[in-house]
Amino acid sequence: MATLQSSVIGFPRVGAQRELKKLIEGFWAGKQTEADLLHGAQALRAKHWQLQRDRGIDQIPVGDFSLYDTVLDTAFLFNAVPQRYQTIPRGLAQYFAMGRGLQGAHPTTGNKVDVPAMEMKKWFDTNYHFIVPEVTADQTFTLSDDPAIVAHLREAQALGITAKPVLLGPVSFLLLSKATGTGGAAAASSTDEFERLSLLPRLLPEYVKLLALLAEAGATNVQIDEPFLGMDFFVGMAEAYRTAYDYLAVDLPASLRLILTTYFERVNNCLDLIKRLPVHGLHIDLVRSPDQIKAALDAVPADWILSLGVINGRNIWKADLNATLDVVRKVVAQRGPERTWVATSCSLLHCPFSLEFEATLDPEIKDWLAFATEKLDELRVLAVAGASADTAGLDAQVIAVLEANRQSHAARRSSSRVVNPLVQDRLALVTPDMRRRATPFNDRYPQQRAAQRLPLFPTTTIGSFPQTKEVRQARLKFKRGDLTADAYDDFLRRETERCVRLQEDIGLDVLVHGEFERNDMVEYFGEKLRGYVFTANGWVSSYGTRCVKPPIIYGDVDRPNPMTVDWSLYAQSLTPKPMKGMLTGPVTCLQWSFVRDDQDRSVTANQLALAIRDEVNDLEKAGIRTIQIDEPAIREGLPLRHSDWNDYLEWAVDAFLLSSCSVQDITQIHTHMCYSDFNDIFPAIQRMDADVITIENSRSDLKLLRAFDRYGYHNASGPGLYDIHSPRVPSVQEMNERLAALLEYLPYQLIWLNPDCGLKTRGWPEVESSLRNLTATAAEFRRRY
Ligand code: MET
């Protein structure tokens, strides 16, 4: 029986048990040789290809594997190596120096080297981070003598697998890069901008060479990723795509077919451009934007491959195979089975490896999930069933899978684990004034200052204090059952007390308990809320070898019991100074979890908001008068398309307001954010109406201050006085200068002094010294004002 072709856009490279992480980190630690690493990585690739083949995948990607990051790989492939790494000989040492910096002995001369890593940025709206290539106005590109992707293609072939090379397209590669000065140590901070796309003519000949090598090695379909086709266009972008693909077409080997690949957004507004490009296929993300299928069907030429990205690469739910099949069949009816592919929406990099390792997951919930490996099976079923017009004529086994899938979805829809009428009713009763403080900021802030006896230039911290090895070990022992609950509790109390005493001694004004009881700022709350579940092995790549294990929100969220009140009360009992209650905000809980696909994100955010509102109320009732609701992720949740921003900001800020507005005038709400690039969303930040906002500021002062200036932010704020991301202790002088600079933009009555983020990754000695300097700065400015 005819089947459609199934295609995987990318596969999680880290491995079922994070084998790749272990290999690479072992190599960094000197425990493995380079040969061990390369050999281990090759074996892992082979395993992943074979897995895909065994599950019936036709178009198996190569080039999606990386020892650090695939964008870095692309820069490396074309030898776009910034000057500061050029003294290190080409090879793994140089590659890793670009990805993570190199401090220590030079690999050949033995001299001391100290080069920082290249910048890292979020990969579109995912939680994966890529290395930002740096290009200069006089940048040259030279294809590597021994391109890894060609070698990988041959490896796959040796296993009898005709794989599909995956390349980052030339336009998107340049758009992901940053334009820097002509090199040298200062390159990264140089801002001489030039038009990056002007480098296309130098880059394209290298792509041509690469395509020729791939053809020679036996490739036929080449996946060429141009995610920027789905983003907002600016002047010159359309022209760049035309230039690039016209150029590549000229000498394109006859055996190659280029499949232009887009994901994370819709391309319906540039289909006129796309359909005229001399390529052979288009992949679209029908999970993110199902509606674009109509326009794509009208536009995509009949002899192209249309790759339907229907299996979600970004989330962990089972696909609704029957509904998806309807879509696939309509497409097949219109354009035939030969040139219709079924595919993952984007790379499966953003999904955990397999459900197979989730022995302890609640079976009811487990039945609703599909991780990367299970998604391969889903693709296969769609490929088989999509080719026939109806289900009746299919293999009994396929019919059974489709039926089981239907039942699983029906069960999920009506499960009492998912639907909690109490939560839904409560949300329906939310009124606008529940998202509004009773009194304007100008009237409530003086009351708060008086109630808490706050001096001018009040000092505080963002919440966490060092999570030392002892803290992490105690937690681990407790989890393993090697430490009793009482002993663990005692330990945490001692840590908390020590932290409170130190803050008193340093002379901080608003204290925190230190967050020693928390493993992670989302996980801690997720474990205490209903509607959340945790996996044992659900790791996904975050950056380099680092992985995260996001919790899963599967049902209506609510809070059965107070989550933080005991710790805050205990900490408050130790000191007469104000103790700040610490919560994670609704948008951040949402952003850093796998979310439900059966209801709008805004609804889940508001459910989370109600749960946090309950916690805020309980803290207030218990006498805690300063409550911080962290929202570090609010900015990173911004949609990729500008035209979608308002909608998002509307519900995201509404959710924050719902979580924070129930309190009395004298209760002070703080929030904390990790980005200072607020320019375009400042009105939304103002609308959050937090009494005090503390901000990560130390790395891009100017932008932040300009925004404050331009919008005249009128609540209180604490733009971080120093950068906590390095162990360096800032001097009093330095912080004095920074504060003086802030005072040019912000009224002195409204400034708070604090570090720019939580201190959990720091060591105690530097924390103590830095905070002592911070309070010295406060004292100095209180004298001056
Ligand atoms: N309260 C949290 C902490 O101090 C805020 C972190 S924001 C990433 O760790």
Digit-coded pLDDT (tens) for 362-405: 999 999 999 999 999 999 999 999 999 888 889 999 999 999 99
Cβ 225 under 6 angstroms from ligand 1: no
Residue-level pLDDT at 334 = 96
Among 672, 695, 723, name the best residue to mutate to test ligand 1's pocket (greatest count of ligand atoms within 8 A of Cβ): 672
760 lines ligand 1 (CB under 6 A): yes
What confidence score (pLDDT) does residue 676 get?
Answer: 61
User: From ligand 1's centre to the CA of 522, what distance in Å?
Assistant: 10
696 in ligand 1 pocket by Cβ < 6 Å?
Answer: no
- Residue 698 pLDDT level (bands cut at 50, 70, 90): low
431-463: buried (b, 16+ CB within 10 Å) or exposed (e) per residue?
A: eeeebebeeebeebbeebbebbebeebbbbbbb
Q: Is the CB of 329 under 6 A from ligand 1?
A: no
- C-alpha to C-alpha distance for 565 and 615, rounded to whole angstroms: 8
Looking at residue 705, what is its pLDDT? 74
Q: Ligand 1 in contact with 464 (CB < 6 A)?
A: yes
Q: Determine whether 283 is an active site residue.
A: no
**Residue in 466, 479, 492 with CA at minimum distance from that of residue 527:** 479
Task: Give the pLDDT band (50/70/90) at residue 185.
Answer: very low
Query: What pLDDT was estimated at residue 183?
Result: 45
* The dihedral sign for the CA sequence 682, 683, 688, 691: positive
Atom number of ligand 1 nearest to Cα 462:
4
Q: What are the helix (H) ranges across 182-335?
A: 200-216, 237-250, 271-275, 292-299, 321-335
pLDDT for 561 equals 98
Q: How many CB atoms lie within 10 A of CB 545?
A: 20
Q: Are 207 and 248 in contact (CB under 8 A)?
A: yes
The reported pLDDT for the residue numbered 184 is 42
Cβ of 674 less than 6 Å from ligand 1: yes
Cα–Cα distance measured from residue 234 to residue 388, given in angstroms and rounded to the nearest whole number:
42
CA–centroid distance, residue 767 to ligand 1 (Å): 15
165 and 122 in contact (C-beta within 8 Å)?
Answer: no
Q: How far is the CA of 712 from the centre of ligand 1 (A)?
A: 26
pLDDT at 707 over 90: no
Q: Is the pLDDT of residue 188 over 60?
A: no
**Per-residue pLDDT, 668:** 98
Rounded to the nearest angstrom, the distance between the alpha carbon of 128 and the centre of ligand 1 is: 20
Question: Ligand 1 within 6 A of 181 CB?
Answer: no
Query: Percentage of the chain surpassing pLDDT 90?
Result: 88
Identify the band that residue 674 occupies on the pLDDT scale cut at 50, 70 and 90: confident
Under 8 Å between Cβ of 60 and 46:
no
Does this model's pTM top 0.80? yes
Is residue 704 within 8 A of residue 675, CB to CB? The reply is: no
Ligand 1 close to Cβ of residue 652 (< 6 A): no
314 DSSP assignment: S
Distances in Å between the Cα of 651 and the Cα atoms of 23, 77, 265, 525, 648 are 43, 43, 20, 21, 6
Atom of ligand 1 nearest to the CA of 758: 4
For a pocket test of ligand 1, which of 460, 499, 511, 515 has the largest count of ligand atoms closer than 8 A to its C-beta?
A: 515
Q: Say what the pLDDT of residue 678 is.
A: 73
Pocket of ligand 1 contains residue 521 by CB under 6 Å = yes
- Residues found in the chain: 785
**Segment 534-548, tens digit of pLDDT:** 999 999 999 999 999
Locate the DSSP E strands across 92-151.
102-105, 112-115, 120-122, 129-131, 134-136
Mutate to test the pocket of ligand 1, among 516, 757, 761 (most ligand atoms within 8 A of CB): 757
At residue 361, does pLDDT exceed 70?
yes
Higher-confidence residue of 187 and 161: namely: 161
Q: Output the pLDDT for position 2.
A: 83
Average model confidence (pLDDT) for the chain? 94
- Residue 134, pLDDT score: 96
Q: Is the pLDDT of residue 646 over 60?
A: yes
φ, ψ dihedrals at 683, nearest 5°: -60, -35
DSSP 118: P
Does the interface ipTM go beyond 0.90?
Answer: yes
Percent of the chain whose pLDDT exceeds 70: 97
- Ligand 1: residue of 127, 460, 461, 462 to mutate (most ligand atoms within 8 A of CB) is 462
**In this predicted model, what pLDDT tens digit does every residue of 412-442 receive, in sequence order?**
999 999 999 999 999 999 999 999 999 999 9
pLDDT digit string (tens) for 469-518? 999 999 999 999 999 999 999 999 999 999 999 999 999 999 999 999 99
Q: Report in angstroms the alpha-carbon separations of 293 from 274, 286, 380, 539.
A: 14, 7, 21, 32
Average pLDDT over residues 189-202: 75
Confidence of residue 699 (pLDDT cuts 50, 70, 90): low
Instruction: Select the more confidently predicted residue: 701 or 279.
Output: 279
Say which residue, 763 or 113, is predicted with more confidence.
763
Residue nearest to atom 8 of ligand 1 (CA): 632
Mean pLDDT, residues 731-759 taken together: 94
Q: How far is the CA of 758 from the centre of ligand 1 (A)?
A: 4
Residues 6+ apart with CB under 8 A from 500: 511, 513, 514, 571, 574, 575, 579
Q: What's the 509 CA to ligand 1 centre distance in angstroms?
A: 18
Mean pLDDT of 638-642: 95
Residue bearing the CA closest to ligand 1, atom 4: 758
Q: How far, in Å, CA of 372 to CA of 357, rounded?
A: 12
Span from the CA of 652 to the centroid of ligand 1 (angstroms): 19
**Quick one: CA torsion of 499, 505, 506, 507, rounded to 10 degrees?**
110
**According to the model, what pLDDT value does residue 723 have?**
85
Q: Are 317 and 370 in contact (CB under 8 A)?
A: yes
Catalytic residue among 409, 513, 642, 725: 725
Specify the pLDDT at position 190: 36
